[in-house]
Amino acid sequence: MAEESRRSIGVGLIGFGTIGKGVVKVLAQNAGVIEQRLGFPLRMVAIADLDTETDRGVDLSGIRFDSDAEGLIAAPDVDIVIELVGGYEVAKRFILAAIGAGKPVVTANKALLALHGKEIFAAAENAGVDVAFEAAVGGGIPILRSLREGLSANHIDRVMGILNGTTNYMLTEMEQTEEAFEVVLKRAQELGYAEADPTFDVDGIDAAHKLALLTAMAFGAELTYKEIPTEGIRQLTPIDFELAREFGYRIKLLGIAKCHRDGGEERIEARVHPTMIPLGSMLANVDAAMNAIEVRGDAVGPTLYYGAGAGEMPTASAVVADLIEIARELQRGGAGPVAPLSYLPHHLVPKPSVALDEQSGRFYLRFTVADELGVLAEIAGALGENGVGIESVVQKGSLESETVVPIIVLTHRANEAALRDALAQMDELQQVKAPTLVVRIEEEV
Binding string to ligand HSE for residues 88 to 127, with x set by CB under 6 A, is what? ----------------------------------------
Of residues 45, 40, 116, 51, the one with CA closest to residue 74:
45
Cα–Cα dist 9/130, whole Å: 15
Considering only the stretches 27-35, 75-83, 121-129, 158-166, report the one whose residues sit in contact with ligand HSE under the rule CB under 6 A: 158-166
| Contact between residue 93 and residue 117 where contact means Cβ atoms under 8 Å apart | no
Which of the 8 DSSP states describes residue 357?
Answer: G
DSSP secondary structure string for all residues of 400-412: TT-SEEEEEEEE-
Interface size with ligand HSE, residues (CB under 6 A): 11
139 is a site residue for ligand HSE (CB under 6 A): yes
Closest CA to 271 of 181, 361, 336: 361
Q: Are 407 and 416 in contact (CB under 8 A)?
A: no
DSSP secondary structure letters along 105-146: EEE--HHHHHHHHHHHHHHHHHHT--EE-GGGSSTTS-HHHI
Q: For the CA atoms of the chain, what is the radius of gyration?
A: 24
Interface residue with ligand HSE, options 48, 171, 310, 348 (CB under 6 A): 310
* Residues belonging to the active site: 210
Q: By CB under 6 A, is residue 206 in contact with ligand HSE?
A: yes
> Minimum distance between the CB of residue 142 and ligand HSE, rounded to whole angstroms?
14
**Cα angle at 108 between 60 and 117, to 5 degrees?**
140
Q: Is 194 in the site for ligand HSE (CB under 6 A)?
A: yes
Supply the minimum distance, in Å, between the C-beta of residue 180 and ligand HSE. Answer: 19
Q: Is 203 in the site for ligand HSE (CB under 6 A)?
A: no
> b or e along 52-71 (b: 16 or more beta carbons within 10 Å of the residue's beta carbon)?
eeeebebeeeebbeeeebee
Closest to ligand HSE by CB, 230 vs 353, is 230
Interface residue with ligand HSE among 107, 109, 146, 164 (CB under 6 A) is 164
- Nearest distance from C-beta of residue 309 to ligand HSE, angstroms: 5
254 vs 423 by CB, closer to ligand HSE: 254
Q: Is residue 411 at the binding interface for ligand HSE, with CB under 6 A as the rule?
A: no
Nearer to ligand HSE, 206 or 269 (CB): 206
CB of 318 to ligand HSE, least distance (A): 10
Q: Please tell me the distance from the alpha carbon of residue 386 to that of residue 357, in angstroms, as a whole number.
A: 14
Question: How far is it, in rounded angstroms, from Cα 438 to Cα 387?
Answer: 17
Our CB check for ligand HSE shows the closer of 193 and 249 to be 193
* The only residue of 309, 337, 340, 406 in contact with ligand HSE, by rule CB under 6 A: 309
Among positions 319-358, residues that touch ligand HSE (CB under 6 A) are none
Beta bridge partners of 306: 292
Residue ranges binding ligand HSE (CB under 6 A): 139, 164-166, 193-195, 201, 206, 309-310
